Amino acid sequence: MAKKRKLILIGNGMAGVNVLEQLLKISNAFDISVYGDEPYPNYNRIQLSYVLEGSKTLDDIILNSREWYEENGIELHVGSRIVRIDTDKKLVYTSAGDAAEYDALIIATGSKPFILPIPGAGKKGVIGFRDIADCQTMIEASRRVKQAAVIGGGLLGLEAAKGLTQLGMETTVVHLMDTLMERQLDETAGGMLKAELERQGIRFLMGKRTTEVLGGEEVAGIRFEDGTELDAQLLVMSAGIVPNIELAQSSGIETGRGIKVNDYMETSAPDVYAVGECCEHRNVCYGLVAPLFEQGAVLAKVLCGAQTAPYEGSSVSTKLKISGVDVFSAGEYTDRPEHRVLRVHDGWRGLYKKVLLRDKRFVGAVLYGDVTDAPLLARLIREGADMTEELYQELFGGGQSSAQGCCGGGKTSIVQGMPDDEIVCGCNGVTKGDIVRVIQEDGFTTVDEIKAKTGATRSCGGCKPLVEQLLQYVLGDGYQDKGGGKKQGICGCTTHTRDEIVVAIREKRLTSVREVMMVMEWEQAEGCSKCRPALNYYLGMIWPAEREDERESRFVNERLHANIQKDGTYSVIPRMYGGVTTPEQLRQIADAADKYNAKMVKVTGGQRIDLLGIEKKDLPAIWEELGMPSGYGYAKALRTVKTCVGSRFCRFGTQDSVGMGILLEKKFERLWMPAKFKMAVNGCPRNCAESGTKDLGIVGNDGGWEVYVGGNGGIRMKEAELLCKVKTDEELIELCGAFIQYYRETGNYAERTSDWLERLGLEQVKKAVVDDLELRKQLIERVELALAGLRDPWREVTENEKLQRQLYQAIEVTAE
């Protein structure tokens, strides 16, 4: 038996270990040793943000376990740094003084964060975001300090900001440019991304150049070129990366920006190769995973002596999931005079598609929200294909290809028309042919089986929809969509529908968000900003008395009991039952507005007073001083009950709208619902309180009350429909409770009553709430059970409640 050649890999990251994976598929001719600085086996750096936010552990992102190294005869040295290479004697030396021989050497030392060369950059609390140690530093910091700044609005910076926000930190992204991810996205897509991330609680300072880090030994803030400052006790530098070339430089290997390599990944030293972010090929250093794996595929064949085409560079396309949002960019992305621009922008659904042509030839594309067309567009741009009528219909609608809406399309033809050698999983270099082969030869029928065999979907997961389409294409009628259809899932993390989730929670007695995702096999184990709040709501609705609310699964507004504004401050809205207040409350509000520098004091459309411009750090104190319950102006719950003055004062009033409004508001406040919920009570049909555009509108008349439902005065205006008429106050209160509970139990999360009523139909709702007395009774019992378990952290029995009662008693005396 021939003696095995000694191969040493310096760097235990994704690029270097991928070379070994490719190598092991075609040869067993090497005795392999791996040296890595970190004390861990190979892990997925793409998913570091999930570790940071706490939705995944280190074990969850390990790509190759220690057992994998042992099974493949690889000697793994963790926490071991190579400090010198003797290229003449073919020896490497560790920091501990140990030496090892090699016949072939791969340098895959990756990159490090670019730390801005500004005064104070060396202070404690200034870090990068590249490894597990950085995550641990940030997690520890979040327990001590509350304000963080992230310099850099690229992918890593945004992911760091997402994780820090999830940890409860007030996080501001500082970006030099006016557009996020300006190297991948145009102004429109970057603006849509910024708006979504702001909704998730991240703050932004755009067009800002940082000139100094403030503080003593520890960071206390940063100063900008324009003289303004930002408080921060943690500063994450994410303004770019720098190839790790110091080892190569000190060992006499030629370097430029990176370690220089030729088309076969050879360095200037004999039998020494470089791959990944540390190397420079044809004056280009790549920072995305897919090009690094393309380099690795060539290098593996070179090491084995197998015939291979040279590596000639990569056509870079970016398909990423940033904080739950899919984006794709390839080729040129900025409009130029020579371009013909095809564009669709659907602000309602949060979708954007732009294709750039030059002389009918595809030269660039940007997708936001729906990236199903990404593989097709990447290929068309790579090949420089011409636009045709058929491709236009495929990409922009018409006929069956518009099934997904303006930015979707019929997708079977995409995989059908792909050549076998086209890359499906860019992260792991898996082609269409590889996937088709294992489906046909191994009888695979699930994505997980394909993942285990080929590695497709293993890294970023962005190719999963395309793998599913290939399954459907190859299996034809034999394909079974085990989730009931991805399009019907409550979000992109799962194929399960709302009804399937609710049934599973009840039947399997699931009681936490994490438990639901594990039992129901969530595709994205950490969930997203769409499904986590939805699951939290469904769990609370089903088990109102048996579980604690999971605040970490709520939006930032709900966690802080205030609405975040565009400048990063908050609006505070105390509750005023039925729009009624007292002089004492007004004095308290005025004093709080002065003390906490409210930028505006505004009367809302819901007959309350809004204090705008309050800093996050002041929220607990201002609520304590107000001594009033929150008006839930941020919540998927009862917002307001708007009232007219009714029969107590109005000469036209026939019913006591103020009294009924206060009673209903006090009864149903704090009850979580699928979406925001507004009510109004009118004392007569003149409709001064605008009951006709509310989720639940009540109109008084001489014979009792009329009940209207499903109104909406927002973007999609809808007039409320008459549900029924009742004669007594008691029946009205019961009917309101039954209606609210039926909506809670059958509404999709984030579905307003206008859409819900349109989906179910008025007759079904009327039958359940009005006609079926037994079902109505059950609904009332369940809503009373939910109400009995409510607790408001801002409201116990306060002096203000007594003042409310005194006020109403005064109204009664005056009216009499």
pLDDT digits (tens, 9 = 90+) for 234-282: 999 999 899 999 999 999 999 999 999 999 999 999 999 999 999 999 9
Report whether 407 belongs to an annotated binding site: no
Which residues neighbour 190 within 8 Å (Cβ) at sequence distance 6 or greater? 179, 180, 181, 182
Is 662 within 8 Å of 606 (Cβ atoms)? no
Of 103-112, 302-311, 798-807, least confident by mean pLDDT is: 798-807
Of 179-183, 487-491, 580-584, 756-760, least confident by mean pLDDT is: 487-491
Q: pTM of the full predicted structure?
A: 0.58
Q: Which residue has the higher pLDDT, 396 or 251?
A: 251
d(CA 609, CA 603): 5
| 3-state helix/strand/coil string of 229-270 | EEECCEEEECCCEEECCHHHHHCCCCECCCEEECCCCECCCC
Report strand pairing: 219-224 vs 229-231: antiparallel
Residue 452 has pLDDT above 50, yes or no: yes
Residues in the chain: 816
Q: How far is CA 140 from the centre of its chain?
A: 23
Cβ neighbours around 155 below 10 Å, total: 22
pLDDT recorded at residue 788: 87
In DSSP terms, 101 is beta-bridged to 91
pLDDT in tens, 377-386: 888 898 899 9
d(CA 601, CA 599): 7
Do the two domains 5-111+243-304 and 636-791 of this chain adopt the same fold? no
pLDDT recorded at residue 565: 72
Cβ neighbours around 760 below 10 Å, total: 16
Confidence of residue 322 (pLDDT cuts 50, 70, 90): low
Residue 795 has pLDDT above 60, yes or no: no
Report strand pairing: 241-243 vs 111-113: antiparallel
pLDDT in tens, 217-232: 999 999 999 999 999 9
d(CA 562, CA 798): 20
Chain mean pLDDT for the chain: 87
Phi, psi of 355 (to 5 degrees): -125, 130
d(CA 92, CA 102): 8
Residue 495 has pLDDT above 70, yes or no: yes
Q: Which residue has the higher pLDDT, 34 or 289?
A: 34
Mean pLDDT of 427-447: 83
Is 277 within 8 Å of 257 (Cβ atoms)? no
Superfamily of domain 5-111+243-304: FAD/NAD(P)-binding domain (3.50.50.60)
Above pLDDT 90, what percent of the chain? Answer: 56
Long-range Cβ contacts of 215-223 (<8 Å, 24+ apart): 215/120, 215/123, 215/125, 216/123, 217/123, 217/124, 218/123, 218/124, 218/125, 219/120, 219/123, 219/124, 219/125, 219/126, 221/149, 222/149, 222/151, 222/174
- Burial class of residue 416 in the structure, from the number of CB atoms within 10 Å of its CB (0-12 exposed, 13-18 middle, 19+ buried): exposed
Of 89, 87, 106, 99, whose CA–CA distance to 22 is shortest? 106
Is 535 within 8 Å of 516 (Cβ atoms)? yes
Mean pLDDT of 286-294: 84
Confidence of residue 535 (pLDDT cuts 50, 70, 90): very high
Mean pLDDT of 303-311: 93
Is 771 within 8 Å of 732 (Cβ atoms)? no
Is 17 within 8 Å of 292 (Cβ atoms)? no
CA dihedral 746, 752, 755, 760 (to 10 degrees): 20
Residue 574 carries which DSSP code? B
Report whether 724 belongs to an annotated binding site: no
- Full DSSP string of 336-373: -TT-EEEEEEETTTTEEEEEEEETTEEEEEEEES--TT
Task: Kindly list the distances between the CA atom of residue 5 and the CA atoms of 9, 28, 307, 488, 694, in Å, as whole numbers in the listed order.
Answer: 13, 10, 19, 53, 77
Which residues neighbour 727 within 8 Å (Cβ) at sequence distance 6 or greater? 703, 704, 705
Residue 809 has pLDDT above 60, yes or no: no
d(CA 326, CA 469): 18
Residue 671 has pLDDT above 70, yes or no: yes
**Three-class SS of residue 204?**
strand
- Return the structure tokens found at 28: 């067993």
Report strand pairing: 570-572 vs 563-564: antiparallel
CA dihedral 684, 690, 691, 692 (to 10 degrees): 110
Mean pLDDT of 605-618: 90
d(CA 426, CA 463): 8
Residue 460 has pLDDT above 70, yes or no: no
d(CA 517, CA 527): 8
d(CA 354, CA 331): 12
pLDDT recorded at residue 122: 94
d(CA 147, CA 162): 13
> Span 636-791: which CATH code?
3.30.413.10
- Return the structure tokens found at 754: 């206008």
Q: How far is CA 118 from the centre of its chain?
A: 32
Task: Kindly list the distances between the CA atom of residue 263 and the CA atoms of 10, 234, 302, in Å, as whole numbers in the listed order.
Answer: 20, 42, 10
d(CA 149, CA 653): 56
pLDDT in tens, 132-166: 999 999 999 998 999 999 999 998 899 899 889 98
d(CA 73, CA 67): 10
Superfamily of domain 115-239: FAD/NAD(P)-binding domain (3.50.50.60)
Sheet order of strands, 91-94 included:
82-86, 91-94, 99-101
d(CA 690, CA 681): 8
**Three-class SS of residue 506?**
helix
d(CA 385, CA 359): 11
Phi, psi of 333 (to 5 degrees): -135, -10
d(CA 366, CA 331): 9
Report whether 304 belongs to an annotated binding site: no
pLDDT recorded at residue 801: 43
- Return the structure tokens found at 560: 């802080």
Q: Which residue do the tokens 């594309």 mark?
A: 365
What residue type is 771 in one-letter code?
Answer: D
First vs last Cα of the chain: how many Å apart?
A: 109
Q: How far is CA 415 from the centre of its chain?
A: 28
Residue 405 has pLDDT above 60, yes or no: no
Above pLDDT 70, what percent of the chain? Answer: 90
Sheet order of strands, 75-78 included:
75-78, 30-36, 5-10, 104-107, 272-274
Sign of CA dihedral 620, 626, 627, 629: negative
Is 264 within 8 Å of 96 (Cβ atoms)? no
Residue 662 has pLDDT above 90, yes or no: yes
Confidence of residue 796 (pLDDT cuts 50, 70, 90): very low
* Pure H helices in 116-271: 132-144, 155-166, 187-199, 246-250
The residue ranges of every structural domain in the chain are 5-111+243-304, 115-239, 486-554, 636-791
Cβ neighbours around 383 below 10 Å, total: 12
Question: How much is the CA Rg of the chain, to the nearest whole Å?
Answer: 31
d(CA 739, CA 509): 25
Which residues neighbour 30 within 8 Å (Cβ) at sequence distance 6 or greater? 4, 5, 6, 7, 23, 104, 303
Mean pLDDT of 628-652: 90
Cβ neighbours around 796 below 10 Å, total: 9
pLDDT in tens, 543-597: 988 888 887 777 767 877 888 775 668 899 999 998 999 999 999 999 999 999 9
